[in-house]
Structure 1
Amino acid sequence: MTALEDALWSYRTGLLPAGHPLTDALEELAGRPRGHVLPAVGLVDVRTGRAAPPRDLEVADGRILDRGPAPACAWYALPGLVDAHVHMSSAADLVGLLVYGVTAYRQMWGEPAHRYAAGVYRARHAVLPRPWVAGGVVDGPRSRVPAAVTVVDGPRAVRHVVNEALAFGFDGIKVYDDLAEREFTALVQAAERVGLPVVGHAPERVPLTAALRGMWSTEHLYGVVPNVFRLPPAARWSALAGALDRREAQPGPLAELFAGRWVCPTLTAWRARTGERRYTRPSGAALRMAAGGRRRSWGAAAREALGTTEAVAAERGRLVDRLGHLTRLLAEGGARPLVGTDCGNPFVVAGPSFHKELAELSRAGLGLATVLTAATTGAQQALRLDDPGPAGLVLYRRLPAAVGDLARPDAVLVDGVLLDGADLDRLWALRLADAGLDAADWPRGELDAVVAGVPREREVTSAG
């Protein structure tokens, strides 16, 4: 290869660089058998949280077959968890998802490396969570990040976006804040003709009714509140407070708009920006979990958090609590919530952050059945996995009674490969070593790194 070809190849394979210890571990696991017997499994009904009578299950080439009843439960199994909003940037991120029971994800800003990882998954050359990849972000001429998006300013650009998504095998199209209504409408119509869902930020120049009508899912509660992080830092939280004041004054009509619509609030990503310490602890160990290209933004976020007074941080935290309350109202009105983290953003770590999001939704008042559905079978529908494909299960020795019991699986079945507790411990140790940490710095199943002088506390949820 020439130097240019070598650089381009490295870019394409960036999530799974050849010879990296994590890549090697994931490739080694792919050589394992995909057929075995799981004895005495009680499948958990996500609608109730209760386990069915135990059955012996056979896994054949990754597919699950029922071999009949068993006398007593040895395992309790949930469908594989799905993180519905991620920004994967490394093999460490992929490992983090697996170790915490996430067997599928929705990549919301697709690049060649993500399509390469999808090919590796399909070819079974490595054990990976199942990917759904949106194409590169689509925005209007007024975009605040014009160098990083595809700018759509007319019919030819709309055709280009759809053609590119089809040519590169993307699963959907992500729109952003500044797309104009005319181009948005044309893009939605063109995408519908070829069966591609439109997801992402509800554009601020498109009426919310039109955005919800045309989009398969909306992210971050944008459209309900503005993308305040487009604003100067001093104006962000007051703008969020004003938007919440207006929306909370008329909850009924808003809930009606969202009825039947997928909504992914990413509350843990909102929370990570507040600077409060209740549920997110910006620590040196957590900072090391950032991939190389993200360390600058994570460091800036850490400095801002350290410079925020306790009173200001608490006030911001209460605004995120109100976002959670609004999420509950939308869900009660018929909206279909998803569990997404926006991991890759400052102090939102792939894997642990998923369970932080479960805790956020539970604290907001969503019941266990709603949260479990959003994390599993509902998410499979949102990703249009009509055929869920090779099996993904998260297995526990004890029946999970609350969302806080889900973060440390005893085994994970992914694409028919069974990862037991020892495998998960080894993968997590490799992931920590990649960040220059060891197991004592961040025990598997914990949602935060150990911080000296701060007691380790389980995140409180409304369910337990």
Structure 2
Amino acid sequence: MTSNLTRRTMIVAGAVTGLTGAVFRGAATAEPRGGGTAFTDATVIDPASGRVLPDVTVLVRGDTIVDVGRHVRPDGARRVDLRGRFVIPGLADMHTHAQAEGIDNGLYVANGVTTVREMAGSPLARDWRDRIEAGTLLGPRYTVGSRLIDGAPSIWDPAWLDVVQVSDAATARAAVREEIARGADFIKVYSRVPRDAYRALAAEAQRHGVPFAGHCPDVVPLAEAADLGQASIEHMFWTPFESSTKEAWIRREIQRIRLERGDYSGWFAALHPLEWTAAHTYSPVKARHLHAKLARRRVRQVPTLAMHRGLDFARTLDTNHPRSKYLPASSLASQEIALREFYLKDRAPSEDAEWAAMFDHRLRTVRRLHEAGVPLMTGTDTGTVAVWPGFSVHDELELFVSAGIPPMAALYAATAEPADFLGTRTGRIAPDHAADLAILDANPLVDIRNTQKLSGVVVRGHYLDEAARLQVLADVERTAAASSGAALSPGCPCHTG
């Protein structure tokens, strides 16, 4: 890489962007003392049960749903008439990377995203989680993983990202213990971890009762990762290999890959021809065997199709999207660096058609995974090219449906499945569950794009009506614009996987 920009400068840039928790608290409407809020005459869509309940009332007190039904008596509660509107559980982004203070949380909340999983141990995300839990910042519920644990050398340059490099079983076990001591909710595995180190990492994490998730290391078959207890697999890079009639040849080629530290573009270049071969030697029999194991082991797949779309169509990507007004200049600069230094640096224009065709293969694979009963979860990989906090969860839902997944099942992947995975009270519209809701002007079961037609959000019981939601977006836009003129050195939060 030619740049000397660092991840730390990105965090510093985020710290000066200034949209405070007080702005969010001012935008959220507090409930009447003791009475709660009654959302009346709504059509409730509850993916966990698969039920659609017309003309019901959802009664919220504090941060909890206390009753749902047609005969709920909302005595003493403030009433919010939702006649003609649809209510779904708050959405989840299960693959995020913190970018900037005053940006991420506003975009999540304004887009109805009330649960996020931070995948790179960001100190910024830990700070947000603590402030949100303390009630001093309005934002989604955070689960924060460890720093990335990769092989040595890592395909990440440590000057760009705080990555832990392990070379054998002993260093892997030590890394797990250190990350648990640092407060990680789970251990994040990366691409180049050696097989013996991975097995030791899995054993150590399980010994401490901490989940491990992330990439499937290149040298580890998915079936083995499932047997060892990996909780979730991120992205779609490795899925085709065990569905190929040439798997043995592919495995030998993977063993031959040699990369220097920080050579992320080289990793893409090395893996792509193997993906291409696997896609063209697809075996339905092998796929069914693998998918059955993933389903049986309940290994969640987080496809991050929004990220893959940016990667697979990198040459023709329109980077001047209207959503870019919500990101600070440093984040936009990081995406440009990623596009140039990671995605396209080692990619010849003659390969573009292959990359585009791989995206179609990824969509077909996601449909097959769903049909086989492999649990799916929505995740976007925020910080990568053409991915935006909050907004891209709706893109992911649209891509799920375009892959052939029914809208109710797509909503399940964005609500009930993440809640089950995390063991939280979120993801359902039912008594004793968290009051995290998205209020829509149109039915998402008719057109999944209707999840973007938000007219209100409830996060931890705080109700933001349409005016408040739009005010949050306006505040984020103003914060992003204010950062543009600052003398900031953009870092690269991208592709932290």
Over 3 Å counting, the alpha-carbon distance change for 1:424 and 1:289 in structure 2 is: closer
The corresponding residue for 1:258 is 294
**One of 426, 433, 439 as aligned partner of 2:478:** 433
The corresponding residue for 1:87 is 97
**One of 289, 302, 320 as aligned partner of 1:283:** 320
Over 3 Å counting, the alpha-carbon distance change for 1:151 and 1:171 in structure 2 is: same
SS of the residue corresponding to residue 346 of structure 1 reads coil
Asked if the contact 1:47/1:370 (under 8 Å) is kept, the reply is no
Q: Which one is further off, 32-41 or 287-296?
A: 287-296
Asked if the contact 1:81/1:104 (under 8 Å) is kept, the reply is yes
Over 3 Å counting, the alpha-carbon distance change for 1:284 and 1:379 in structure 2 is: closer
Structure 1: unaligned runs, 5 residues or longer: 1-8, 438-464
Over 3 Å counting, the alpha-carbon distance change for 1:141 and 1:433 in structure 2 is: same
| 1:436-458 per-position Cα deviation (integer Å, ceiling 9, x unaligned) | 39xxxxxxxxxxxxxxxxxxxxx
**One of 223, 230, 237 as aligned partner of 1:215:** 230
Asked if the contact 1:51/1:76 (under 8 Å) is kept, the reply is no
Amino acid at match of 1:211: A
Higher relative contact order (CA 8 A, sep 6+): 2
Q: Provide the TM-score with structure 2 as the length reference.
A: 0.76
The corresponding residue for 1:6 is none
Over 3 Å counting, the alpha-carbon distance change for 1:69 and 1:30 in structure 2 is: closer
Q: Which one is further off, 111-120 or 282-291?
A: 282-291
| 1:118-171 per-position Cα deviation (integer Å, ceiling 9, x unaligned) | 111111111101111111011222322262311234555344433333333321
Root-mean-square deviation (Å): 3.4
**Partner Cα separation in structure 1 for residue 406 and residue 479 of structure 2:** 37
SS of the residue corresponding to residue 218 of structure 2 reads coil
Are 1:274 and 2:345 matched, yes or no? no
The corresponding residue for 1:459 is none
Over 3 Å counting, the alpha-carbon distance change for 1:51 and 1:119 in structure 2 is: same
The corresponding residue for 1:3 is none
**Partner Cα separation in structure 2 for residue 167 and residue 409 of structure 1:** 40
Amino acid at match of 1:83: D
Amino acid at match of 1:396: L
Structure 2: unaligned runs, 5 residues or longer: 1-7, 73-80, 242-253, 258-263, 428-432, 483-497
SS of the residue corresponding to residue 366 of structure 1 reads coil
The corresponding residue for 1:440 is none
For residue 427 of structure 1, report the CA deviation from its aligned partner: 1.0
The corresponding residue for 1:243 is 278
**One of 392, 397, 403 as aligned partner of 1:358:** 397
SS of the residue corresponding to residue 353 of structure 1 reads helix
Are 1:28 and 2:26 matched, yes or no? yes
**Partner Cα separation in structure 1 for residue 127 and residue 150 of structure 2:** 24
The corresponding residue for 2:466 is 421
Over 3 Å counting, the alpha-carbon distance change for 1:220 and 1:211 in structure 2 is: same
SS of the residue corresponding to residue 116 of structure 2 reads strand
Q: Which one is further off, 199-208 or 236-245?
A: 236-245
**One of 221, 224, 229 as aligned partner of 2:239:** 224
Over 3 Å counting, the alpha-carbon distance change for 1:53 and 1:332 in structure 2 is: same
**One of 212, 216, 220 as aligned partner of 1:198:** 212
For residue 326 of structure 1, report the CA deviation from its aligned partner: 0.7
The corresponding residue for 1:77 is 87
For residue 184 of structure 1, report the CA deviation from its aligned partner: 1.4
**Partner Cα separation in structure 2 for residue 92 and residue 19 of structure 1:** 8
For residue 355 of structure 1, report the CA deviation from its aligned partner: 1.1
Asked if the contact 1:11/1:113 (under 8 Å) is kept, the reply is no
The corresponding residue for 2:136 is 125
Over 3 Å counting, the alpha-carbon distance change for 1:109 and 1:409 in structure 2 is: same
Amino acid at match of 2:24: L
Q: Provide the TM-score with structure 1 as the length reference.
A: 0.81
For residue 56 of structure 1, report the CA deviation from its aligned partner: 2.5
**One of 335, 338, 354 as aligned partner of 1:298:** 335
Over 3 Å counting, the alpha-carbon distance change for 1:167 and 1:387 in structure 2 is: farther
For residue 429 of structure 1, report the CA deviation from its aligned partner: 1.5
**Partner Cα separation in structure 2 for residue 414 and residue 14 of structure 1:** 27
Are 1:396 and 2:440 matched, yes or no? yes
**Partner Cα separation in structure 2 for residue 277 and residue 155 of structure 1:** 40
Amino acid at match of 2:42: V
Asked if the contact 2:426/2:436 (under 8 Å) is kept, the reply is no
For residue 88 of structure 1, report the CA deviation from its aligned partner: 1.7
For residue 366 of structure 1, report the CA deviation from its aligned partner: 1.0
| 1:256-295 per-position Cα deviation (integer Å, ceiling 9, x unaligned) | 23223200111110111233699x6321655555445443
The corresponding residue for 2:489 is none
Asked if the contact 2:129/2:142 (under 8 Å) is kept, the reply is yes
| 1:185-233 per-position Cα deviation (integer Å, ceiling 9, x unaligned) | 2221221232211000001122322212220000002332589965366
Asked if the contact 2:27/2:468 (under 8 Å) is kept, the reply is no
**Partner Cα separation in structure 2 for residue 81 and residue 154 of structure 1:** 39
Percentage of matched positions with identical amino acids: 26
| 1:275-331 per-position Cα deviation (integer Å, ceiling 9, x unaligned) | 3699x6321655555445443342245669999999965553232011010111111
The corresponding residue for 1:137 is 148
Asked if the contact 1:89/1:291 (under 8 Å) is kept, the reply is no
**Partner Cα separation in structure 1 for residue 183 and residue 447 of structure 2:** 38
Amino acid at match of 1:205: V
For residue 432 of structure 1, report the CA deviation from its aligned partner: 2.2
**Partner Cα separation in structure 1 for residue 225 and residue 267 of structure 2:** 26
